[in-house]
């Protein structure tokens, strides 16, 4: 079974500062992928970044980077230079080798203050 | 760019009524999914279809049925709606190992 844990129900950050959103996972699959999604108040799900378990380098996409620590089973999302538009719910998710299904965490509500 | 289209976007039902949520994708993806989102619980998988002609149960399949009509379409049916099925429902699609592309969501209220 796969499990994703996001321990921060809510986070606050000042505009232009960096913020880290935590995600830990549990799986027995030898190969897996980790995803982050953003859900603004309008409700749509927006894909942000992907990390494969065998990728040598941490994934980066613009202001988003993934701090992947395989031994600790963590895949934290780092947002640099926060913007007001980053205020949203953020979900960590994982897919293992046992199927195509994606398992989501409970989410972290990020608020960026001016 | 239609992507994933789901209908209806809003629906109010009475307990015991039935309804079908429709989903279609135009990205030629093999896999399709139905999730429900409830406050504080993230997204939970109801059913998924890894490829045309196959469907499998997710975490919370009770009270739902699905049909993978063809490669493009994946419908979710509530045979006898219950207040516990009040939720926001998301359809999604993906290639086998890629990211999920989501529809805009369908808000269902069961009275």
Q: Smallest CA–CA separation between B80 and chain A, in Å?
A: 26
- Do strands B101-102 and B106-110 pair parallel, antiparallel, or not at all (unpaired)? unpaired
What is chain A's pLDDT, residue by residue, as a tens digit (114 residues)? 789 999 999 999 999 999 999 999 999 888 899 999 999 999 999 999 999 999 989 999 999 999 999 999 999 999 999 999 999 999 999 998 766 688 999 999 999 999
- Count Cα neighbours of B45 within 13 Å in the Cβ-side half-sphere: 25
DSSP B57: E
Residue A37 has a pLDDT of: 98
B21-79, pLDDT tens digit by residue?
999 999 999 999 999 999 888 899 999 999 898 999 999 999 999 999 899 999 999 99
Query: Is B107:B93 a contact under the CB 8 Å cutoff?
Result: no
Residue B1 has a pLDDT of: 65
Q: Is B57 on the interface with A (CB under 8 A)?
A: no
Q: Smallest CA–CA separation between B32 and chain A, in Å?
A: 9
Residue B27 has a pLDDT of: 95
Label residue B80 exposed, middle or buried (CB < 10 Å: 0-12, 13-18, 19+). Answer: exposed
Q: What is the DSSP string of B14-48?
A: -TT--EEEEEEESS--SEEEEEEE-TTS-EEEEEE
A100 closest CB neighbour out of B40, B43, B96: B96
Distance CA B100, CA B109 (A): 25
Beta bridge partners of B31: B94
Which of B:13-52 have CB within 8 Å of A? Answer: 30-31, 33, 35, 40-45, 48, 50
């Amino acid at each position: 079974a796969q499990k994703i844990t996001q321990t921060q129900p809510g986070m606050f950050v000042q505009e232009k500062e960096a913020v880290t959103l935590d995600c830990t996972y549990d799986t027995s699959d030898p190969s897996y992928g980790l995803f982050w999604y953003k859900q603004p108040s309008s409700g749509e799900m927006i894909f942000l970044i992907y990390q494969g378990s065998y990728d040598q380098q941490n994934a980066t996409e613009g202001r988003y980077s993934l701090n992947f620590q395989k031994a600790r089973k963590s895949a934290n999302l780092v947002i640099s230079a926060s913007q007001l538009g980053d205020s949203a719910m953020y979900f960590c998710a994982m897919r293992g080798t046992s199927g195509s299904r994606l398992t989501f965490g409970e989410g972290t509500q990020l608020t960026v203050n001016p | 760019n239609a992507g994933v289209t789901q209908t209806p976007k809003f629906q109010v039902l009475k307990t015991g009524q039935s309804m079908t949520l429709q989903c279609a994708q135009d990205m030629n993806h093999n896999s399709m999914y139905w999730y429900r989102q409830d406050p504080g619980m993230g997204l939970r998988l109801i059913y998924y279809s890894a490829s045309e002609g196959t469907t499998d149960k997710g975490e919370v399949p009770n009270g739902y049925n699905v049909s993978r009509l063809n490669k493009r379409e994946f419908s979710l049916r509530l045979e006898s709606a219950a207040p516990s099925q009040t939720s926001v429902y998301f359809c999604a699609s993906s290639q086998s190992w890629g990211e999920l592309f989501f529809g805009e969501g369908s808000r269902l209220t069961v009275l």
